[in-house]
Amino acid sequence: MKKIVLIEDDVTLSQNLIEILQDEFDIDHASNGQQGVELVKAQLPDLVISDILMPEFTGHEIKRIFNADPLLSTIPFIFLTAKADKKDIRKGMDLGADDYLTKPFTREELLNSIHSRIKKSEIFKKHNSELTKSIAMALPHELNNPLISIIGYSEIILEQVNRCKFNECSDIVTSTQIINSAGRELSEILKRYLLVVKLQMIYSDVNEKKKYSERIKEPTDLKIIYELIDAANRKHSTNRIVLEHNAKNIQLAISEEDLTIIINELLDNSLKFSDNESKIIVYVNSENKNCEVEFKNFGRGMTEEQISNIGFFQQFEREKFEQKGSGVGLAIVQKLIELNEGCFDIKSEPGYETVVTVSIPTKNY
């Protein structure tokens, strides 16, 4: 059953519309713009029907909010209005509305509009999904093959020049090490981009999202987190990452693959955006039914607006700070935690510290 969100402040009209639609659609109702925005974000319906003149937000303001969110911008949107002014209709269409029904309208007009918009949306989703899958399947091979050659042959060169006298081959060694390092870095970037594509595909399909969350997962030992912290300190030749814990030897209800991605992304983010000489404190607590892992770093920090705008390819203040990366790390963590029925939280004081906490279900409960 397709889901529709109705945003309408007129009680009588709302009841009439719900009565017309409830046999064929799963319908939720919001009586003002603010409630409507929150409901659509939570439900991700197949279609939105909205009045224009309402408390909190007008219909036009709601559509602007949706247009700014990639997950909401493609949801079919039908305006309801008592105004037949061409300028008003044009304004709605300019914002990307799919249809415009002027009150009063017939039951047949309403249903025809809904069916037409949902069908059009399904065709678009199907084509988009097929294209995304094609790219996701082809891209790894297209990029991995030359990367394997770059990394592999650079390692062969390094093995060969090790037999030379250092003074004769020092320039070759340095250049080859740079090539090898760049190849490995590019390989890691590719893996992250492909993960983003995978997560976007899952989140664009309610059934895929449900399937991922309900899949059978082998439990993962908590000690994996400690091993990843040790590995990060060795990789970056540092002892900045400090582990503190009040944790039992438990198993987490998350795959080792997902947990490894989450912890590594948060460690990488903490190292990248903290002061070079400061400590990064990782506190693990498993006293409750969920295991909480807290990452505290001291440095740039984030504003409330930046925290609320976390998403794929979002980089903050890049014009002010020299930084590497594509802006996907925290968004990847947020999505993976949600898919594994955990919790994700950020608290930050700009210019001082940032604390990221992830809560992961345990297998013991």
Task: Tell me the Ramachandran region of residue 56: left when phi exceeds 0, alpha when psi lies from -120 to 50, beta otherwise.
Answer: left
* CATH fold label, 2-105: Rossmann fold (3.40.50)
Residue 30: strand, helix, or coil: strand
Q: Worst-scoring range by mean pLDDT, 5-14, 91-100, 337-346, 353-362?
A: 91-100
* Average pLDDT, rounded, for the chain: 83
Q: Worst-scoring range by mean pLDDT, 32-36, 41-45, 157-161?
A: 157-161
Give the full edge-to-edge strand order of the sheet including 26-30.
26-30, 3-7, 47-51, 77-81, 99-102
Q: Is the pLDDT of residue 217 over 90?
A: no
Chain centroid, CA 51 distance in Å = 30
pTM (2 d.p.): 0.59
Q: Worst-scoring range by mean pLDDT, 29-33, 159-163, 229-233, 309-313?
A: 309-313
Rounded to 10°, the helix 59-67/86-94 angle is 20
Report the CATH number of the 216-361 domain: 3.30.565.10
